[in-house]
Amino acid sequence: MKIDPKSKADLSAQIAKAIRDSIISGDMDVDERLPSESELSEQFDVSRPTVREALKRLAAQNLIRTQRGATGGAFVRRLSYEEAYANHITTSTLLLSMNAVDFETACEARFALERACAPLSAQRRTPDQLATMRAEIHRQTQPGLSDESFCDSDVAFHRALVDGADNPVLSYQLAGAVEAMQPLMNMITFTQRNRDMIVGLHTRIADAIETHTAELADTALAELTSYTLELGQQAMAARAAKAPD
């Protein structure tokens, strides 16, 4: 592990990269202990604060954890599914908002991916997941439900659908598309008629998932896609009319 003195990057960034590479390459095993901060500062020939900055960078990426005390130190961390999942959603959301992805694009991606899950979900869904879907549908019919809560419930419904596929890789990738769309969905105002329509489609999806008929789920999802797209375009149009740039 050596660093390039010619590089103009920060020392802490270079050191972080060197250590990161040796973790990612599999050179270091999970729970293996890194040299202590003092040892690292000797090895890289920098001061301890610089080493610490490098380690904090790695900690921010969940690549290491640190522990105080005699047998403490920095340890290679097993990347937990839950953390990666949460991070993925944050990043996806940021990416959508900062780069101004339009509603159509996000919506299209979301439903395309969900339709990929539906057949698997129809095969494998547990009674539990089905019950969750039913419960969320019921929640969506509650009078006086705010638009935001309606959206929350919508996401919960679709997450149950996706999780029904019983494939963590799918759930992970889908989460980025489904959850990241929530801010965009929140710009829609749902009338009672809109909600009835959506609840109807959700019910058809749940029915199809219950009876293991992938085709019905797919057609209902297709209809939901175009309906959501429609609602989104209306919302965008209303927004544009109100605040023209």
Partner DNA sequence: CAATTTTCATTTGTCTGACATTTATTGTTT
Partner DNA sequence: AAACAATAAATGTCAGACAAATGAAAATTG
Q: Can you give the binding site for a second copy, defined by CB under 8 A?
A: 12-13, 16, 24, 26, 30, 49, 52-54, 56-61, 78-79, 81, 84, 87-88, 90-99, 101, 105-106, 108-110, 112-113, 115-117, 120, 165, 167-170, 172-174, 176-177
- What is the closest distance, in whole angstroms, from the C-beta atom of residue 75 to a second copy in the complex? 14
Q: Which has the closest alpha carbon to 217: 120, 107, 135?
A: 120
Rounded Cα–Cα distance for residues 18 and 126 (Å): 45
Question: Could you list the residues that contact DNA (CB under 7 A)?
Answer: 10-12, 34, 36-38, 45-50, 52-53, 55, 66-74
Q: CB nearer to a second copy: give 135 or 166.
A: 166
* Contact of residue 122 among DNA, a second copy, none (CB under 5-8 Å per partner type): none
Longest pairwise C-alpha distance within the chain: 69
- What is the closest distance, in whole angstroms, from the C-beta atom of residue 190 to a second copy in the complex? 23
Q: CB nearer to a second copy: give 70 or 169.
A: 169
- What is the closest distance, in whole angstroms, from the C-beta atom of residue 174 to a second copy in the complex? 7
Q: CB nearer to DNA: give 73 or 232.
A: 73
* Contact of residue 17 among DNA, a second copy, none (CB under 5-8 Å per partner type): none
Rounded Cα–Cα distance for residues 186 and 148 (Å): 6
- What is the closest distance, in whole angstroms, from the C-beta atom of residue 83 to DNA in the complex? 17
- What is the closest distance, in whole angstroms, from the C-beta atom of residue 39 to DNA in the complex? 7
CA distances from 131 to 8, 87, 135, 162, 207 (A): 57, 28, 6, 14, 11
Which residue is it, tokens 């959301």? 93
* Contact of residue 78 among a second copy, DNA, none (CB under 5-8 Å per partner type): a second copy
* Contact of residue 67 among DNA, a second copy, none (CB under 5-8 Å per partner type): DNA
Q: CB nearer to DNA: give 54 or 188.
A: 54
